[in-house]
Structure 1
Amino acid sequence: MTRLDTLQSAIEARLGGQIRSLQRDRGELTLVVSSSDYLEVCRRLRDDDALRFEQLIDLCGVDYSTYGDGRHEGLRYAVVCHLLSVTHNWRLRVRTFCPDDDLPVVASVNEIWNSANWFEREAFDLYGIVFEGHLDLRRILTDYGFIGHPFRKDFPTTGHVEMRYDPEQRRVIYQPVTIEPREITPRVIREDHYGGLH
């Protein structure tokens, strides 16, 4: 029995009906749970002696709206955690989907792993995912006056507002984006002796 087999058996035995799916791919396990079970499952993953995921390595948001060229059917936003058990020397990916696409909300795991603090703030800032129970959920990468969430697939690549220094007012000002859309046509350059061919 391999280490991955042992981990999979332990997860199945400890979490049972809370498992939406447990996928095995490229030597890694991905556990999918419902948002209503997410906090309890994370606590059990940390505290159960057979699992002991003491460290949250990463947490991020995902927008599935254009996933698979738009063939994805299901909820739009997900939160993905990458966990490490130092005790057992194994890793696990945990995914949960936000139940409401208009206002994506999931529980904060910051009380379980304090490393989640800035990761959850980043997912809030970039995707607009609200982490219920987070004590300091505010933007971390964009400006406080920033409008929207730039990693959402429907966010315009030019943004909504631009910030620039105005020398007349001698201060930074915000204004609507003034970038003119243009079509760029690549220019093909042909050389007679390119690559040493004659």
Structure 2
Amino acid sequence: MPARAWDVEYLTELQRVMRVLNAGVDQFVGEQRSELIVELVETGIILEERLDIPVRRLLRQKFLLGLFDNLFLDPDAAEQVDVNSYFVRLGTEAQRKVYTLLKNEGEILPLRYLSDAKFYVEGVNSTLLEERGLLVVTTAEEADFALVRLQAPYEPRPGGFEPAYHAGSLEYNATEKAHQAKSIRQCQLL
């Protein structure tokens, strides 16, 4: 797929790359046309020394991160970091901080009396609740509470890399709206 050239379609590819460099871009991510930069240097349009500036900035960050201190990874040490309970706890805490409570009508939260409560779950692993002694039911009609994890809405886009990203309208379609409304009517939605 050719690179997009929004509002500079009139420029040649070389002129576009030159403009990007002049704008201060240090790194062309995902770019497959490195020969354009080589051509700019070989034709004398830019000096090779001009490219030393972003190279120094990028390498400085990598050295500060210690990426070149030890080039050989110890798989056993990596596994210890990967399964480190402290890091897992920090990650879990970070994930909890991103939840947003939209409503708390009747101050239902935090849930205090759960021993007899029935939960309908959708988009959530039910075993996580069952392991905590909570009763999970298969329909919203049977439930006192519904825990629903929704995927963000989007409009599928054709071509190139756009299908890999969610873009467009953030409005749920009519079918999903009806499904959500039914779940809300049938039990308290959390």
Shared fold, TM over 0.5:
no
What TM-score do you get using the length of structure 2 for normalisation? 0.23
Q: More relative contact order in 1 or in 2 (CA 8 Å, sep 6+)?
A: 1
Q: Which entry has the higher C-alpha Rg, 1 or 2?
A: 2
Q: Which structure shows the bigger proportion of residues in helix conformation?
A: 2
